Structure 1
Amino acid sequence: MIDVLIIDDEPLALDVLETFIEQMPEVNLVQRCENAFEANDALKKHDIDLIFLDIQMPQLTGIDFYKSLKNPPEVIFTTAYSNYAVEGFEMDAVDYLVKPISLDRFMKAVNKATEKIGSKSDSGSAGNDDDEYIFVKADKKLIKVNYNDILYIEGLKDYVIIRMETGRVITLQTMKSLEDKLPEKFFKRIHRSYILGLNKIQAVVGNTVEVLENGKVKQLPIGKNYRDELLDIVNQNRL
């Protein structure tokens, strides 16, 4: 069961979302909110897993509101304007729904959110880092890859290359799909083409991260949209 808030300044839009939610037994609607201030108050009172957040709202937009949250829940943005999609996904939104929203599209978004929330829960309750792994399809077989062996992951169109201390694995999937499956406590997206194993960082120099690959220093670029979050992680572990 996932607990959700729906946030929209249009009562009809709230009604539609509530009707859809009532048809999904795994989703619990905690509260309807008509603006960011009601939502902020609700988040202080309840443990929320997911918010459906309208972008175009008076006084404070959905995007600005989400950026203001210190530890935000997962988010699915809703709006009548598709031109916000890129910014929504840059904020690691689970999904982006353009109004009018159909039930099947809504269900797909909720299923994505449920999977992402469940994977976070599983990674948070796991034991020794060395015992954690993922199976990746490559060369017509499923290859076991230990999280602790991954140096970084490189995106190449529809393929990703998982770089490890023992070699590499090339698999057909997108960076976003793999990022969603990896535990956030071990990995961080630092660029549109790179996901980094956090325990492999040797140094942060300007707009690059240094890791050791085959005994040599490898510099990975830090994208401007990812820099602040990466530096927050580094500063949290700084002496």
Structure 2
Amino acid sequence: MINYIIVDDEHIAHDIIKGYCDALPNLSFIQHCYDAIEAMESLRNNNVDLIFLDLNMPKLKGFEFLKALQNPPKVIVTTAYQEHALEGYELNIVDYLLKPFSFERFIKAINKIDVSNTKASVASTLTSKSDERIFVKSSKKMIQINLKDILFVEAIGNYCKIITVDDEIQIREKISDFINVLPTDKFFQVHKSFIISKNHINSIEGNRIFINDFIIPIGKVYKTNLNKIF
């Protein structure tokens, strides 16, 4: 789990951020902090992997607080002031979110966390590889999908159609982007328009892959990907 605190002097900001976090797996809430002094105390008393940090706060400004930390955890800035973005990235923040930010933009920030340098398990906005689930946005909803249920993904222009064992979900995502959130040992692109699940292949015949009642074509430039399956 990624343990996080929220550091912001506005109560509504806490409500929004915590609400977003509650909808994602592997994010564990530690404490609400309304100024940098409370945040320092929380860091001393808890194992914190991630800070959601506002900049314009009383007593000690956000970046002043961050500079005062010897070994800061990961930081996602949440602020209404865009002019401090460059300074933030110079301090190695994960992302810089301008208020008001959408849930979709929020999970993109979570996806940027380099979990190899944290004590947390693997977790992401769209992908949670530790429990083999992903969140996708379809219409105006966030839908959680178990990776083991995905048969294949088909590209339709700038959209993708995710075919699962019992459902069909359309998302506004290019297949070239969506392949990056899938585990590379289980999913392979076999055609410019198709990603298939290794575990659901029934058979391969010539340039065709059979998955349940579906027939997936194999593109010439993707044939080398089949070597990874075997």
TM-score, reference length from structure 1: 0.49
* Residue equivalent to 1:51: 51
Distance (Å, rounded) in 2 between the aligned partners of 1:96 and 1:27 = 19
Task: Map Cα deviations across residues 133-163 of structure 1 (whole Å, 9 max, x no partner).
Answer: xxxxxxxxxxxxxxxxxxxxxxxxxxxxxxx
Q: How does 1:166-177 map to 2 (within 5 A)?
A: none
* Residue equivalent to 1:8: 8
Indicate the SS of the match to 1:67: helix
Distance (Å, rounded) in 1 between the aligned partners of 2:44 and 2:6 = 15
Instruction: Decide which of 117, 120, 129 is 1:120's aligned counterpart.
Output: 117
2:74 corresponds to 1:74? yes
* Residue equivalent to 1:39: 39
The letter of the residue matching 2:41 is D
Distance 1:121 1:6, change over 3 A: closer
Gap runs ≥5 in structure 1? 123-239
Contact 2:4 2:49 in 1 (8 A): yes
The letter of the residue matching 1:120 is N
Distance (Å, rounded) in 1 between the aligned partners of 2:110 and 2:26 = 9
Distance (Å, rounded) in 1 between the aligned partners of 2:100 and 2:106 = 10
1:121 positional shift: 5.1
The letter of the residue matching 2:5 is L
Distance 1:121 1:31, change over 3 A: closer
Contact 2:6 2:31 in 1 (8 A): yes
The letter of the residue matching 1:67 is K
The letter of the residue matching 2:66 is Y
The letter of the residue matching 1:4 is Y
Distance (Å, rounded) in 1 between the aligned partners of 2:46 and 2:78 = 22
The letter of the residue matching 2:59 is Q
Gap runs ≥5 in structure 2? 120-230
CA RMSD of aligned residues (A): 1.2
TM-score, reference length from structure 2: 0.50
The letter of the residue matching 1:37 is I
Aligned structure 1 segments of 4 or more residues deviating by more than 3 angstroms: none
1:109 positional shift: 0.6
Structure with bigger gyration radius: 2
1:60 positional shift: 0.6
